[in-house]
Amino acid sequence: MLKDFNEKVDRRNTNCFKWDKLHEKYGKEDVISMWIADMEFRAPEKVIASIVERAKHGIYGYTFRDDKYYNTISEWMKKRHDWNIENDWIVFSPGIVPALSFCVSCFTNVGDGIIVPSPAYPPFFNAVKDQGRIVVESCLKYEGTRYSIDFNGLNRSVKLMNLEMEKNETEKKVKMIFLCNPHNPTGRVWTKDELCRIGEFCLENDILIVSDDIHSDIVYEENQYTPIASICKEFEDITITCISPGKTFSMTGLATSSIIIPNIELRKTFTKMVESYELDGGNVFGMVASTAAYEHGEEWLIQLLKYLETNRNYMLDYFETNIKEIKPIKPEGTYLVWLDCSGLGLSGAELMDFFVSKAGIAVNPGISFGEHSDQFVRMNIGCTFEQLESALSTLEYSVRNL
C-alpha cells in the first residue's frame, strides 16, 4: 500500500519537542519548525498497529527482549546493509546519545583525548567534556560543495595531543574517535576507501572507533552506506556501531537503540555499564515497535526514500535558481541539510535572528556543531513537500528584503 507522505499531521500539544518547545528555544511559536532531527511523517501502519495491539493487553509490566527482537535486527542489517552480525553482538541502549557517554566512561579515563571530526553532532562534544575528557577537534575539509576527511590534519592533531600528554608525564592519550556515518550535519556518506583509511589510522594509533550510524537507512540512490566494522575483522574488533530504528521510522520517542559490539571483551564491559545503571530493561512499546519496523517496514522505507529524494532535489534546485546567496551542501544521506550562509554577510547571531525573526524558520545554529561553523545552519527536510515549499518561499522573500 502506498504511503501518503503529503499528509499533514499536527504535532502541537503532544509534548513534541520539535513544535511545543519553539517558544522556549526560539522566543516565538509562529515559525516553521525545521530544526531537531525527527520527521513529520507518521510511523508505518504496522508499527502503529503493533503498539495499539500491545496496549490493548492493559498490563505494561517488566519486559525482556525475545529472540525475534534480535533476529529482526540481524536480518535487517544483512538485507539492507550486507553485514552479517550475530545476535549476541547486540546490546540494548535506551538511546545512542547515552551510549556515547557509556563508551566514554567505559573505555577512556579522565584526561584522555577523544577525536571529534567537526562540524559534529553537538552531543559528541558534551559526551566528552561532561566526563572530563579532552575534545580533539579535527576539522573536516570543506571544499565549497562537499566535505571530506582531512587525514593529514587528523594525524597531526592526534600526534600533537599525544606529545603534549607525554610532555606532562601523564599516561593519558588519545583513545577514541566518534565517527558519524552518514554524517550529521553535512550529510556525507563515507566511502569504503575513506572508512578503510580511518580504520587503518585507528589500528596504528590504538584508537577505539565509536560509530553513530543512526542515519544509516536514510541514504540516497547514488550512494552506499558501509558499516566500518563490516570491512574486515581488524576493524570489527575495534568498533562499536550504534544503530536505531528511531530516525528511520519516526519513532525516536520510543527510546530503543542497538549497540553492535563484536569484540566480546568490549561487549562485556559495555553491558556491565548499562546494567549497572539498571537501563537494560527498556520499554515494552519500544520493543514491539522495533520488531515490527524491522520486520515489516522495508517497503515503507523505500517509499520514504523516494519522497525525501524529491524533497532534496527540489531544495537543491530552489537554492541554485532563487537563493544563490545560500549554498546547500548536497546531502548524500540523512534528511538534514547543511546550509552555507556566508553569502548573506551576517554574523552567527545575526544569521539566527534572520532565520527566526525575518524568515520565520526554526533551524539549528551552525555554531553548536563546532566553533568554525557560525556561518552555517542546519535545516531538516524530513517534512511534507508543502512545508518545504513554504519554508523556501518565505526564505527567498526574506533574503530579497534583507
Category of 157 on φ-ψ map: left (φ > 0), alpha (ψ -120 to 50) or beta: alpha
Give the confidence band of 356 by pLDDT, cuts at 50, 70, 90: very high
Task: Give residue-wise pLDDT tens across range 215-256.
Answer: 999 999 989 999 999 999 999 999 999 999 999 999 999 999
Task: Give residue-wise pLDDT tens across range 157-214.
Answer: 999 999 988 888 778 899 999 999 999 999 999 999 999 999 999 999 999 999 999 9
Q: Amino acid identity of 323?
A: I
Let me know: does 320 contact 177? Beta carbons within 8 Å: no
Handedness of CA 346, 350, 351, 357 (dihedral sign): negative
Instruction: List Cβ neighbours of 363 (8 Å cut-off, separation of 6 or more).
Output: 34, 35, 339, 352, 355, 377, 378, 379
Domains and CATH numbers, the chain: 17-44+297-401 (3.90.1150.10), 60-296 (3.40.640.10)
Rounded Cα gap, residues 274 and 263, in angstroms: 16
DSSP at 43: P
Strand segments (E) across 103-146 = 113-118, 134-139, 141-142
Which pLDDT value is given to residue 164?
87
Task: Give residue-wise pLDDT tens across range 102-121.
Answer: 999 999 999 999 999 999 99
Rounded Cα gap, residues 10 and 13, in angstroms: 9
Let me know: does 288 contact 51? Beta carbons within 8 Å: yes
Task: Give residue-wise pLDDT tens across range 301-327.
Answer: 999 999 999 999 999 999 999 999 999
- 358-378 burial string, b = 16+ CB within 10 Å, else e? ebbbbbbbbbbbbeebbbbbb
Let me know: does 333 contact 219? Beta carbons within 8 Å: yes
Handedness of CA 189, 195, 198, 199 (dihedral sign): positive
- On the question of pLDDT at 2 being above 90, the answer is no
Distances 197 to 189, 211, 240 between C-alpha atoms, Å: 15, 15, 17
Rounded Cα gap, residues 364 and 186, in angstroms: 13
Let me know: does 209 contact 235? Beta carbons within 8 Å: yes
Task: Give residue-wise pLDDT tens across range 327-350.
Answer: 999 999 999 999 999 999 999 999
What cell does 43 get? 510511523
Backbone angles phi, psi at 313, to 5 degrees: -65, -40
- Mean pLDDT of all residues belonging to the chain: 97
pTM of the predicted structure, to 2 decimals? 0.97
Which strand (E) or helix (H) includes residue 31?
Answer: none
Give the confidence band of 1 by pLDDT, cuts at 50, 70, 90: low
Select from 266, 271, 269, 272 the least CA-distant residue to 240: 266
Number of Cβ within a 10 Å radius of residue 58: 6
Distances 375 to 205, 304, 326, 364, 367 between C-alpha atoms, Å: 33, 30, 10, 12, 8
